[in-house]
Amino acid sequence: DTGVSQDPRHKITKRGQNVTFRCDPISEHNRLYWYRQTLGQGPEFLTYFQNEAQLEKSRLLSDRFSAERPKGSFSTLEIQRTEQGDSAMYLCASSLDNLSSYTFGSGTRLTVV
């Protein structure tokens, strides 16, 4: 297993466009998390999946954001009508169970121009 994979690594988009990011967690991990990180800050929690169920969403996740994990394996995060304030690194992490540490992917850096 090569760890948590995220695609794309970088995305530049014009304001108002929609973007979608993909995360492939470690195969045996049933827990998947999305975080957002801006420069000089720590990661901020966005949403959590256990298998295919989205069990928690942050208030940071406005109605322009949607995340799915249809078969309990890979996950997608979509941002509609992007705004400049959405520019950030979007990190995906997975874990095996409640006691384990998270393994993070390398992130998708989004720049909205």
Partner 1 sequence: GQNIDQPTEMTATEGAIVQINCTYQTSGFNGLFWYQQHAGEAPTFLSYNVLDGLEEKGRFSSFLSRSKGYSYLLLKELQMKDSASYLCAVKSSGGYNKLIFGAGTRLAVHP
Q: Which stretch binds partner 1 (CB under 8 A): 22-30, 68-76, 77-85, 97-105?
A: 97-105
Q: Which of 1, 56, 78, 83 binds partner 1 (CB under 8 A)?
A: 56
Q: How many residues bind partner 1, per CB under 8 A?
A: 24
Taking residue 70's Cβ as centre, other Cβ atoms within 10 Å add up to: 9
Rg over alpha carbons for the chain, rounded to the nearest Å, is 13
Query: Does residue 30 bind partner 1 (CB under 8 A)?
Result: no
Does 60 engage in binding with partner 1 (CB under 8 A)? no
